[in-house]
Amino acid sequence: MGSRRALTGWGKTSPSVATVVSAGEDETMSQQVVGATGRGVLARGLGRSYGDAAQNAGGVVLDLTSRDRVLRIDVEDAVVEVEAGASLDRLMRVLLPLGLFVPVTPGTRYVTVGGAIAADIHGKNHHVDGSFGQHVTSIDLLLADGSIRRLTPHEPLFWATVGGMGLTGVILRATLRLTPVESAYCVVDTERCDDLDDLLARMTEGDDGYTYSVAWIDCLARGSSLGRSVLTRGWSARRDQLPSRLQPRATEFRPRQLAVAPPVFPSGLLNRSTVTAFNEVWFRKAPRVRRGEVQGIASFFHPLDGVGEWNRVYGPRGFLQYQFVVPFGAEDTLRRTLELLSASGLASFLAVLKRFGAAGDGHLSFPTPGWTLALDLPLGAADLGGLLDRLDAEVLAAGGRFYLAKDSRLPASAVAQMYPRLDEWRAVRAEADPRGVFTSDLARRLDL
Amino acid sequence: MKDAIGNVQRILVLGGASEIALATVRRLTEGRADAEVTLAARPGTRRADAASGLRGRGLTVTEIDLDVMDRTSYERAIGATFDVGRDVDVVLIAFGVLGDQERAWQDLDAALEMTQVNYTAAVGCGVLVAERMRAQGHGTVVAFSSVAGELPRRSNFVYGSTKAGMDAFFTGLGDAVAPDGVEVIVVRPGFVRTRMTAGLRPAPLSQTADEVAAVVVEGLRAGRDRVWAPSAMRWVMSGLRHLPRVVLRRLPI
Ligand SMILES: Cc1cc2nc3c(=O)[nH]c(=O)nc-3n(C[C@H](O)[C@H](O)[C@H](O)COP(=O)(O)OP(=O)(O)OC[C@H]3O[C@@H](n4cnc5c(N)ncnc54)[C@H](O)[C@@H]3O)c2cc1C
């Protein structure tokens, strides 16, 4: 049963070894949970969280990706019931031809439904549609005592599980409300913004008119061009908005992977000069303004999925993603972050900025109203740790918080300050799992 | 748990008054004052001073008795530390004696004490720590060896022989435990100006405990399995190894 293997997150940092078991039937998993040793059990999806959230050193990790059946689709009501190991890629391939789209998609399709609920993920539509958990109508959860319960949004355990990072139990199945669409395309407006003020002003004014919105910031631009960026916003395309040759197969969705990154990249390949050169080309390539462009869902939402295992380009030391949200009014924190990073010369390819709308009900859900900035940073620079520790302090002082699905380095002391409902979550979890069977490296690191 | 940057949360120092080990702890916890440190050493002012020094930096320090000549003592120290609280991210195996080199090859008691401390107890601790860390599925063992172990020399060959033995053990242990997520880093310092070497004539390339600590922490973060301190010592040692013994004997090292 299972093999002992080293696991990491997408950032390839802090490996730890666990007994990895491919998920079997409910009954089998239930026995595995009941028979767990002191090092506990954790569910894992596609391992797209960046840090140590889907690792359980010395314990059991249930790999849910073998449980990926689509159980029921109700096209009329736009509802689907799926097993938790199904990926959003799979769902899109099945659902788009039926004129249905997932309610929320992250920057990659290679996440599981279980992972999407456990991290309560957000997409480019958060400002209008909220996070993933708000579109879930039921969850079948395997609990620490081996029983399975169907949870609905009326129960506290539902909201402890949404955003609960796998620590309340194993999500086996879920029912999702879908978004009806006429095509597998989006209509996209692109604008180049000169600096941070320009960008924030455009987003504040215009975002509410779009379903989807995100900005890519060139992190190496300094001085008066600090925050120069490309803002892309759009809507799901109606059939009549497509060029006529696409209209007959408007809902066809067959994205292909173009390439896979080779396994060996030297550390330090992404340095200040290579990234500067890349960003310069990328920024110049973007149109000053372009309206009404039709883009496929894959290229609009998941540009990075075109290259498999692209995380390898960061070399053996790996990388981390630093993502926080600060409330509206704390724009200075965004500016300071960009200033400090660009001054430090640490090469971040791009930063992604989004405006969050209203928060959901998950006790530990990340999104709250404000600006969320996400940056990929390669490891290796000696001063990275100190720099991020200083940034943490600024973000926390501004009333901000960090995304646990991306985190790989926060100190335990930061969590209570960022997540005011932590104690409420702990109480619900303690009731559902008094022995602490469900645990992870993230939970150990942050004392969750 | 160790984080992506290499910050650690809990450290056990076996030989908790060792200056090099303490310098390593300071370096490893720089900027993050939330780490817990257990100092296992003989009770006394040196351990107490070490503990209060670390507490002064904001660290949470536990002191625990350790007599490495007594097997039950280190079994108890390691067991008690791993049994409660957080996972132990790093164990420093830092005890050792230098002793009187001339006595050490002529006096049975002196020879046996040196081998028991530097070799036998180090292996014993290595076995126990490895078992605990394998069960954890992660952790790093830092074994303080010495360049003296790489090359037997007239001036300190008994000490060198004990370090050669422990060095070989931890080098092999690293390979044995790697599949279980445990890392071992063997540290080979040259001459370090500490209490242990006070009164000895500093050899070329001599260094401070802080300098050794910097090399160790950099090695830890880069995931190396052995480091020399100073780093240049690696090449010096590899050069010296190829000298004929007649020449080597004449060198003032
Ligand atoms: C390129 C890229 C872009 C991304 N973009 C976004 C984005 O735009 N927005 C966003 O919100 N996130 C984004 N993410 C993060 C990603 O959406 C989340 O980390 C998500 O949780 C990954 O799902 P997974 O299936 O890979 O889960 P894993 O990484 O395997 O696990 C993540 C967490 O979910 C838990 N979990 C997984 N399955 C289950 C289950 N069946 N039952 C209980 N717990 C479970 C795990 O225990 C763990 O705590 C991105 C990640 C990448 C690599």
CATH number, domain with residue B132: 3.40.50.720
In angstroms, what is the span from residue A106 Cα to ligand 1's centroid?
9
Q: Name all residues whose Cβ lies below 6 A of ligand 1.
A: A 10, 42-49, 53-54, 64, 84, 106-108, 111-112, 114-116, 118-119, 121-123, 165-166, 170-171, 304, 405, 440
The number of C-alpha atoms within 13 Å of A163 and in the hemisphere containing its C-beta is: 26
> Distance between CA atoms of A295 and A293, rounded to whole angstroms?
6
Which H or E run includes A129?
Answer: helix A126-129
* CB neighbour list of residue A113: distance below 8 Å, 6 or more residues apart: A82, A83, A84, A85, A86, A87, A88, A91, A171, A174, A176
> Distance between CA atoms of A352 and A406, rounded to whole angstroms?
13
- B9 to chain A, any CB pair closer than 8 A? The answer is yes
- pLDDT category of residue A285 using cuts at 50, 70 and 90: confident
Residue to mutate (ligand 1; options A7, A44, A355; most atoms within 8 A of CB): A44
- Residue pointed to by tokens 């992250």: A106
Higher pLDDT, A174 or A262: A174
Measured between CB atoms, which of B3, B87, B180 is closest to A408? B3
pLDDT digits (tens, 9 = 90+) for A44-65: 999 999 999 999 999 999 999 9
Q: Tell me which residue of B131, B143, B200, B162 sits closest to B24, measured CA to CA.
A: B143
A296-311 mean pLDDT: 87
- pLDDT category of residue A268 using cuts at 50, 70 and 90: low
Query: If 0-12 CB within 10 Å is exposed, 13-18 middle and 19+ buried, where does residue B189 land?
Result: buried
pLDDT reading at A118 higher than 80: yes
Q: Tell me which residue of A321, A317, A320, A319 sits closest to A267, measured CA to CA.
A: A317
- Return the bridge partners of A100, or none: A180
- A7 to chain B, any CB pair closer than 8 A? The answer is no
Which residues of chain B, if any, have pLDDT below 70?
251-253
Q: What is the per-residue pLDDT for A405?
A: 98
Q: At what angle do helices B108-115 and B157-177 cross, to 10 degrees?
A: 20
Backbone angles phi, psi at B211, to 5 degrees: -65, -40
DSSP A309: T
Evaluate whether B138 touches B132 at the Cβ level (below 8 Å): no
All residues of chain A having their beta carbon less than 8 Å from the beta carbon of residue B5 are 379, 384-385, 388, 409
- B224 to chain A, any CB pair closer than 8 A? The answer is no
H helical segments located in chain B: 19-28, 45-55, 71-83, 101-104, 108-115, 122-136, 157-177, 209-222, 233-240, 245-250
H helical segments located in A350-440: 384-397, 415-418, 422-432
Q: Flag whether B2 is in a domain.
A: no
**Token reading at A228:** 């120069």
Q: What is the per-residue pLDDT for A269?
A: 66
Measured between CB atoms, which of B2, B34, B137 is closest to A18? B137
Q: Flag whether B116 is in a domain.
A: yes
DSSP track, A259-280:
EE--S---TTSS-HHHHHHHHH
Evaluate whether A26 touches A64 at the Cβ level (below 8 Å): no
- B84 to chain A, any CB pair closer than 8 A? The answer is no
* Residue with CA at minimum distance from ligand 1 atom 48: A54
Query: If 0-12 CB within 10 Å is exposed, 13-18 middle and 19+ buried, where does residue B155 land?
Result: middle
Total of domains in chain B? 1
All residues of chain B having their beta carbon less than 8 Å from the beta carbon of residue A56 are 137
> What average pLDDT does the structure give for chain A?
93
pLDDT reading at A260 higher than 80: no
- In a mutational test of the A interface, the residue from B2, B3, B82 whose CB has the highest number of chain A CBs within 10 Å is B3
In angstroms, what is the span from residue A445 Cα to ligand 1's centroid?
18
In angstroms, what is the span from residue B87 Cα to ligand 1's centroid?
25
Q: Flag whether B5 is in a domain.
A: no
pLDDT digits (tens, 9 = 90+) for A187-205: 999 999 999 999 999 999 9
A221-238 mean pLDDT: 93
Catalytic-residue membership of B159: yes
Contact B7 A409 (CB under 8 A): yes
pLDDT reading at A315 higher than 90: no
- pLDDT category of residue A349 using cuts at 50, 70 and 90: low
> Distance between CA atoms of B206 and B192, rounded to whole angstroms?
6
* Residue with CA at minimum distance from ligand 1 atom 37: A115
Number of CB atoms found within 10 A of residue A47's CB: 20
- Nearest 5°: the CA angle A109, A115, A116 is 65
* Residue with CA at minimum distance from ligand 1 atom 51: A48
Domains of chain A: 66-181 (3.30.465.10), 185-408 (3.40.462.10)
- A88 to chain B, any CB pair closer than 8 A? The answer is no
Q: What is the per-residue pLDDT for B31?
A: 77
- A386 to chain B, any CB pair closer than 8 A? The answer is yes
Q: What is the per-residue pLDDT for A1?
A: 64
- B176 to chain A, any CB pair closer than 8 A? The answer is no
Q: Tell me which residue of A113, A116, A64 sits closest to A90, measured CA to CA.
A: A113
Q: Which domain holds residue B111?
A: 10-248
CA nearest A441 in B: which residue?
Answer: B1
- How distant is the alpha carbon of residue B115 from its chain centre? 15
Q: In this structure, are strands A351-356 and A212-217 parallel, antiparallel, or unpaired?
A: antiparallel
**Token reading at A397:** 């002082």
Evaluate whether A311 touches A304 at the Cβ level (below 8 Å): no
Contact A411 B34 (CB under 8 A): yes
pTM: 0.95
In angstroms, what is the span from residue B21 Cα to ligand 1's centroid?
39
A199-214 mean pLDDT: 97
Q: Flag whether B4 is in a domain.
A: no
